[in-house]
Structures are given as C-alpha cells and as structure tokens.
Structure 1
Amino acid sequence: MESVQKPARVRILDAAHDLLLTVGLARATTKEIAKTAGCSEAALYKYFASKEELFVRVLGERLPRLAPLLSTLTAEPGAGTLEDNLTRIAEQAALFYEQSFPIAASLYAEPQLKRRHDDALRTMGAGPHKPIEALDAYLRAEQTAGRVRADADTFAAASLLLGACAQRAFAYDAGPEGGRPPADVFAARLARTLLDGISVAPEATRPRP
C-alpha cells in the first residue's frame, strides 16, 4: 500500500527542525530546508514569510510546549498547588531550553546576523523575552489570588527561574559530573527554592476546593 505523504507545511517544519538542530540557525538556509522537505523554496514561502517565522513556528510546534502551559495556568490562578505548578513550568522550561539552545547558539557568533534576527522577531512580536513575560503574568495572577506575597518581585522571580533553566542547557555539561541533572529533579529543587522567596504562609498556598 502506498504511503501518504505528509502535508508540505508539516514536511517543512520537520526539515527545519532537523536542520536547525544539526547546523544551527545561522547556517540553515531556506533553500536547504526546502530541499530537505522535498519542495521548492517558493513553496516554503507560501507557508512561512521568513526564516525567522519558520524558527518561531519550530519553537512553538516542535519543542516542549512552555507557552501553552503558562497560558493555561495564568487563566486559572489558584488551581493546583503553587509548588506543583512551578515544578511543571520549570521542567517544561528546562526541556525547552535544552532543545532550543543548540538551534540558536550559532547566532551569537555573528553579531550582525543576530541583530537582524532580533529585529525580525520584534516585528513579529516574538523573542526570548516572551517566556519571562508570560511567567511574570502567571506569578502576578497568583499574587492577586493571594498565593504569592504582595511585595514579591514577580518579574525577577520569573527571570531567576527561567534563567536557571537556560543555564542548565548551557553550563552543566562542563561541570564535575559532566552532564545535566534530570529535568524533573532539577525542576523540583528549583521550584522549592523559588517558593522560599515569594510564597505566602504554607496554609495560604493550598489549592482551592
């Protein structure tokens, strides 16, 4: 039985994901992505306006889904325990940065290319600052719900948690143990430590019935 070929958009995203992981964002061209996907470069541009848009779609559709998790939790402040929620966020973020760091790292070797890339992302309303803003929004929602201290700096807390997750992808391989701690263990430790600084009294952090 003849196999059904995947739709062109799916093939392009798959090819982009594979190439971005192997050669990095700076070296992956739309021409090579289209060739790998088995379509023309013109066909690629029917679905994606630029390589930057393709990069954003790969992050959103092929990597761990951090943004949807943050959106869901922000819409339901008070649900679950704060520790469990922060642990889920930290684990997703750790996996997201683990997979996205190899893709974007090559940009930092080419400052002019990185500036053009950043300008394009700003035009699209995207960029690496967005997860920090989304986590800040979630923590502010929990602040309003009374589970985060009123005087807590939620933006700094968001930056600390996501910064630690990014460092796990960047720095831990060079450590004495020569590898990253498991994402779930790392996330649990990070959430507990962050809670010490921002949560209200334990009895006030229980989930609503």
Structure 2
Amino acid sequence: MQKPVQKPARARILDAAHVLMLTLGLARTTTKEIAKAADCSEAALYKSFSSKEELFIAVLDERLPKLGPLLSELTARPGEGDLEENLTEVARQAARFYAQTVPIAASLYADPRLKARHEAALREMGTGPYKPIQRLDAYLRAEQRAARIHADADTYAAASLLLGACTHRAFAYDSAAGGTAAPPLDEFAQGLARTLLSGIGSPG
C-alpha cells in the first residue's frame, strides 16, 4: 500500500505554526517546536522563512480569514454593490480574523521586551496591526470619492471603529465552560455596518 503523499515542507510548516500559535500563543511557540510538528528540521524551516515574525505574517496571510484581499478587492471597485452589504462582509471577515489573531498575539503583552522585539521586526518588514485599518480607510475614502460616504466623514476614525469593535469581540466573550457567548456573527456584522453607515453614509 502506498504512503499518502506528504504536503510540501512550506505548507506543513505553515499548518504547524498556525496550530501551535493558536494553542500556545506567539510568545511561547518556538521555531524548534514548529519544525518538529511539521516533520522537518529547523534548517528547512529557515530556508522558507527568515524569522518567526515572517512565519507569523505568512500564517496571517495564508491560514486566517482573508481580510486583506477582501479590502483590496473592494477598494479596486468603489461604487459597486450595496455599501451596507460590503461593510457587513468586511465586519464578518474581520471578526473571524481577529478571533484567531487575538489569541495568537495576546501572550506577547506579558513580556514587554519580547513585544518590543516583535514590533521592531514587523516594522522592518513594513507591516503591523495598523495595516487593516489603513486598508479599510483606503476603501472608505474610495467610496467617499464615489459620493457614497459624506464628504466630511473621518474615514480613518470610521475604519478604526469598525475594526476596533471586531477586535473587541474577540476579547469580550467566552463561550467556553458556560461563559457568555458572542452575538451571532451575521447579526453582529450587519448591526455594526448599519450603525457605522448611519453616521458616515451619504444620504444621496
């Protein structure tokens, strides 16, 4: 009987990193543990990824809900589709995205030196937690130019409010062991989009 074909090393490394970062947190996950879980050597891991930070960004881009691509797609076609539906989908994907990124990154806040080192590495790579806010701001500004958002609306503040609410959802509720469950995702996303648009949407 033939053995099942193994995934390429890079895919195995990303899968292992995703699982370990979710269960142990970013701070406690080591490249040695990731390599072991991926059934490869650390040397093989470093052939694909130069650092744990680069691997973390790859996990965000390739294993988590696709928030970045959604925002890029919407920004490329402002004025299309129903604006409330567009923002509802952004809120839905953002809530899913932060539901995974918050547990991964939370452990960094227990170690200020590790957090500072991680942030410095992300700055070197030209990325960081601010990127989704910038991308959503770019989309809202595009819709502003298409006259679907008030000309005087603060789009950066609006982007921060929407994504901040999605991030907070990951902190505020815990359905495990009988804890308080979060509101249904679709209901939450639609309510957030509708409320935001009541303040910044163009009446025309």
Q: Structure 1-normalised TM-score?
A: 0.94
Q: Which residue of 2 aligns with 1:179?
A: 181
1:100, distance to aligned residue in structure 2 (A): 1.1
- Deviation, 1:177, is 7.0
Number of the residue aligned with 1:207: none
Q: What amino acid is aligned across from residue 180 of structure 1 in structure 2?
A: A
Letter in 2 for 1:66: L
Does 1:32 pair with 2:33? yes
Aligned length: 201
Q: CA deviation at 1:172?
A: 2.5
Residue 104 (structure 2) aligns with: 103
Could you tell me which residue of structure 1 aligns to residue 191 of structure 2? 189
Q: Which AA in structure 1 matches 2:113?
A: Q
TM-score normalised per structure 2: 0.96
CA distance in 1, matches of 2:200, 2:102: 28
Spell out, residue by residue over 1:97-139, the C-alpha distance to the aligned partner (whole angstroms, 9 max, x if none): 0011110000011111000000100111111100000000000
Aligned equivalents of 1:14, 1:96: Cα separation in 2: 16
Structure 1 counterpart SS, 2:22: helix
Separation (CA, whole Å) in 2 of partners of 1:72 and 1:104: 27
C-alpha distance in structure 2 between counterparts of 1:122 and 1:13, whole Å: 22
2:200 maps to what in 1? 198
Matched, 1:61 2:67: no
CA–CA separation in structure 2 for the residues paired with 1:14 and 1:28 = 13
Three-state SS of the structure 1 residue aligned to 2:17 is helix
Unmatched 5+ residue regions in structure 2?
none
Matches within 5 A, 1:55-204: 55-173=56-174, 178-201=180-203, 204=204
Aligned alpha-carbon RMSD (Å): 1.2
Separation of aligned partners in 2, 1:30 and 1:148: 46
Cα distance in 2, alignment partners of residues 31 and 120 from structure 1: 19
CA distance in 2: counterparts of 1:197 and 1:182, whole angstroms? 23
Distance 1:182 1:46 in 2: 42
Shift >4 Å, 4+ stretches: none
Question: Are 2:79 and 1:44 aligned?
Answer: no
CA–CA separation in structure 1 for the residues paired with 2:171 and 2:200: 26
Deviations 1:146-199 (A, max 9, x none): 10100000000000000000000011339x971111221100000000000100
User: Separation in 2 of the partners of 1:153 and 1:180?
Assistant: 28
- Kindly state the Cα deviation for residue 2 of structure 1 after the two structures are TM-superposed: 2.2
The residue matched to 1:148 in structure 2 has which SS? coil
**Which amino acid in the other structure matches residue 128 of structure 2?**
G
How far has the Cα of 1:44 moved from its partner? 0.2
- The 1-side partners of 2:115 and 2:181 are apart by 28
When residues 15 and 177 of structure 1 are mapped into structure 2, their CA distance, relative to the original with a 3 A threshold, is closer
